[in-house]
Structure 1
Amino acid sequence: MIILGLTGSIGMGKSTTAEMFAELGVPVNDADAVVHDLYKGDAVGPIDEAFPGVISNGEVDRAKLSALLAENPTRFKDLEAIIHPLVRDREKAFIDRHRALATPLVLLDIPLLYETGGESRVDAVAVVTADLEIQRDRVLKRPGMTPEKFALIQSRQMPDAQKRAKADYIIDTGHGLDSARAQVKALVDRLLGKV
């Protein structure tokens, strides 16, 4: 089984690209979706203890947590110490399940793959990229996004050029969906030995 890691900075089109892999039948473990699920379950207690006041209706209130972290970015480390082991447990269960099924290729969609040493858990890494102008335009169109919030997020991410230099494969999403879809198909075919 080949484990492909997919990563890319905010606004590069990583989630859309992961969907393209899924459309081709590649099982995807989406770390963001796992975190979203954990914020409604296993992570609630530990986060409530570490960050009092960020729980609403029995789940982590992302807006409250985000505001708290914006005020005190050093607390990201505390959050990561809670979340990362839980995410890894889910990821391991996903891999074990597909290994047992003899799935030929799986995708781990990991936003901070390089920043967290995730490349050691995959066989190869594909980085999703686009020009800075396209990235900025996409991100600033998101609800509640500000140039300041974008800058804070960027400060926690490895620069795109560094990610591209480390990547085994690059998927450029700056030329439209059809182009990205063709790149994904070519990569899947290559990894599965169809080329």
Structure 2
Amino acid sequence: MFILGITGSVGMGKTEASKYFLKNNIEVFDCDKKIASFYNKKEIIEKIKVSFPSIIKKKKIDKIGLAKIVFSDKQKLQFLENLLYKKLKQEQSFWLRKKIREKKKIVAFDVPLLFEKDNLRKYDLAILVSCSKEIQKRRVLRRKGWNESRLDKTIKQQLSDHKKRELADIIINTDRGKKYLLYTIITIIKLIKTKKVRKINEILKEF
């Protein structure tokens, strides 16, 4: 099996790139979507309620309110990340083992903080999705609940795009249109198919 790690800062086009991998039969574990699903789980709501009682409204988590709190307090952000990432790692491991049983040759993980928080040894190839700062800003400010202040705080919590470019094996630029994005991803998949794959037991050691 060959494992891709796809990453990129908010608004860089990571989700769009993942869609094109899916269209080319590469299944993708979306960490953002999985974490979003945790906020609907009773066990997570109860744990968050203890530390952040003000953001529980009608038995649901006010995610915008929670973001405002944690991005203003590093300790609270660390607490939330520890809570969510522990469960995320479990879900990643379950999903990967399922794909191994299904005999998938290539799979991908869409990981927003791959370089900051994850173990790079898990992946055979680290792919950075990137674009210009101007396009990033324009994309993000269209989203509900986002403003320049939240965007700035989010970016400051992550490695710079310049540093990520130094760490990545491959860089996908998403400011050149969808046709270029599709062409790039097809080229990457062709490249992967020429690569030697790791043994399953070697992969599972990292997960």
Q: TM-score range by the shorter chain?
A: over 0.9
* Runs of at least 5 residues in structure 1 that lack an aligned partner in the other structure: none
Deviations 1:158-192 (A, max 9, x none): 10011111111111101011111111111112112
For residues 106-125 of structure 1, what are the structure 2 equivalents within 5 Å?
106-125=107-126
Report SS of the residue matched to 2:127: strand
Q: CA contact under 8 A between 2:71 and 2:77: conserved in structure 1?
A: no
Query: How many residue pairs align between the two structures?
Result: 194
Report what 2:198 is aligned to. Answer: none
Is the contact made by 1:104 and 1:192 (CA closer than 8 Å) also made in structure 2?
no
The letter for the 1-side match of 2:46 is G
Matched to 2:34, the amino acid is V
Inter-partner Cα distance in structure 1 for 2:186 and 2:58 = 42
Deviating 4+ runs (over 4 angstroms): none
Between the aligned partners of 1:166 and 1:69, the Cα distance in structure 2 is 27
Q: Hey, what does 1:97 align to over in structure 2?
A: 98
Distance, in Å, in 2 between the alignment partners of 1:43 and 1:187 is 37
* Residues 40 and 58 in structure 1, CA contact (< 8 A), matched pair in contact too: no
Q: Structure 1's 166 and 71: CA in aligned 2 closer, same or farther, altered over 3 A?
A: closer
* Alignment match, 2:185: 184
Instruction: Using the TM superposition, give the Cα deviation of residue 74 of structure 1 relative to its aligned residue in structure 2, in angstroms.
Output: 3.3
TM-score if structure 2 supplies the norm length? Answer: 0.88
Structure 2 regions of 5+ residues with no counterpart?
A: 196-207
Shift of 1:16: 0.7
- Name the % identity: 26
Matches of 2:134 and 2:45, distance apart in 1? 37
For 1:129, the equivalent position in structure 2 comes to: 130
Cα gap change, 1:49/1:124 in structure 2, threshold over 3 Å: closer, same or farther? same
